[in-house]
């Protein structure tokens, strides 16, 4: 067994215009002061990283790593959630995703997709230059408008979707293979990969591509009412990144999983700060440790009630208290009688 690294924090939800959230230096120092040892970088924020430069210059990456170390933290992974979303977009959602791409590409879906593919490829190259093993992203979605089968989905629609999704991602994953980096998809409602079944289907259409992996986030499984502990037993070989995010699901006589179009604070299923929700993190950390996960435990803060500053301050000690320093010995070693084949045979009556 291996010990999980952490605590770390995803910076995306904290970046802003006011100090200490307005520059990489300021936010790294701030997070280090709270007890975080690592930071996950949102690559779409130019204040955090120049992604193309990171892909093309190891010198730049060495300087970036060195600066972060001087500020008290280590880079855990790069994130391309926004760019990955644009690798596959159904036309119904295209206007709402315009803000994920450069302004000059507004309304040009094909150009946005080409930009997104290049961005995710650069993330693989930049991760290699930074010495990182994993990078986290979204799959995008062509099928999401048809998630609930009414009216009945046309025959073959799912197969057509996953054939196209795999076609778009395979060259990206091949580059990840060349770079020695895992692409870790956050399984998230709104993406074509949102649970174990859809992830399995995607991997099958990719011919079992070993660089298609998972950014494990139990909060999205709470909201779907999926067994997130059994999920680890099923897919631990593919879990290469971990978002520590809490959530709760409180159905009523008025709403359930779909929550009646309510805002986040009024939904039956909603994200919460660590410790305020229903996720069994003791069970999660135990199972991940048992299955040799040795990556980072990264706080992704999202809460409909609590302020981000309080969530960040509470997150580091929460994660730290759940990290298991795995044992190198069995608890009953004191009673061991040694290893002797002849003795073992006598014990068995052989």
Count CB neighbours of 347 within 10 A.
10
What's the pLDDT score for residue 332?
66
How does pLDDT run across 148-157, given as a tens digit for each residue? Answer: 999 999 999 9
Q: How far is CA 149 from CA 145, 164, 240, 276, 292, in A?
A: 10, 20, 32, 34, 38
Map residue 225 onto helix, strand or coil. coil
Class level of CATH domain 5-347: alpha beta
**Strands 296-299, 269-272: pairing kind:** unpaired
Alpha-carbon dihedral of residues 137, 139, 140, 144, nearest 10 degrees? -130
Euclidean distance between CA atoms 159 and 121, whole angstroms? 25
Task: Please tell me the chain's helix, strand, coil percentages from 3-state DSSP, rounded to the nearest 5.
Answer: 45, 15, 40
Instruction: Supply φ then ψ for residue 25, to 5 degrees.
Output: -60, -50
Q: pLDDT means per 10 residues in the chain (350 residues)?
A: 95 96 98 98 98 98 98 98 98 96 96 98 98 98 95 97 98 98 98 98 98 98 98 98 98 96 96 98 98 97 96 98 86 69 88
Q: 42 has which bridge partners?
A: 79
CA distance 157 to 203: 18
pLDDT of residue 140: 98
């Amino acid at each position: 067994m291996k010990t999980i690294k952490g605590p770390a924090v995803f910076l995306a939800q904290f970046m802003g215009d006011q100090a200490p959230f307005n520059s990489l230096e300021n936010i790294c120092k701030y997070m280090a002061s709270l007890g975080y040892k690592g930071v996950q970088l949102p690559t779409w924020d130019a204040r955090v990283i120049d992604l193309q430069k990171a892909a093309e210059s190891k010198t730049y990456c060495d300087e970036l790593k060195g600066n972060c170390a001087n500020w008290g933290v280590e880079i855990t992974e790069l994130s391309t959630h926004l760019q990955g979303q644009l690798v596959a977009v159904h036309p119904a959602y295209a206007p709402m995703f315009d803000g994920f791409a450069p302004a000059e590409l507004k309304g040009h879906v094909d150009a946005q997709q080409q930009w997104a593919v290049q961005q995710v490829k650069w993330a693989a190259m930049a991760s290699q230059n930074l010495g990182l093993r994993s990078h986290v992203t979204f799959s995008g979605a062509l099928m999401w408008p048809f998630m609930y089968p009414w009216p009945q989905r046309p025959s073959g629609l799912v197969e057509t979707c996953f054939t196209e999704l795999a076609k778009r991602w395979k060259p990206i994953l091949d580059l990840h293979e060349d770079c020695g980096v895992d692409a870790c998809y956050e399984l998230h409602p709104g993406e074509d990969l949102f649970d174990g079944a859809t992830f399995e289907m995607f991997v099958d259409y990719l011919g079992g591509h070993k660089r298609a992996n998972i950014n494990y986030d139990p909060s999205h499984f709470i909201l779907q009412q999926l067994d997130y502990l059994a999920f680890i037993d099923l897919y631990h070989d593919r879990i290469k990144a971990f978002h520590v995010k809490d959530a709760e699901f409180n159905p009523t006589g008025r709403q359930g999983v779909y929550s009646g179009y309510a805002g986040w604070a009024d939904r039956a299923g909603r994200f919460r700060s660590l410790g305020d929700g229903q996720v069994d993190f003791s069970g999660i950390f135990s199972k991940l440790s048992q299955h040799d996960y040795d990556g980072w435990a990264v706080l992704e803060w999202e809460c409909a009630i609590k302020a981000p500053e309080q969530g960040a301050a509470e997150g580091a000690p929460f994660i730290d208290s759940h990290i298991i320093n795995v044992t190198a010995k069995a608890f009953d070693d004191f009673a061991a009688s040694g290893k002797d084949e002849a003795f073992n045979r006598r014990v068995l009556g052989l």
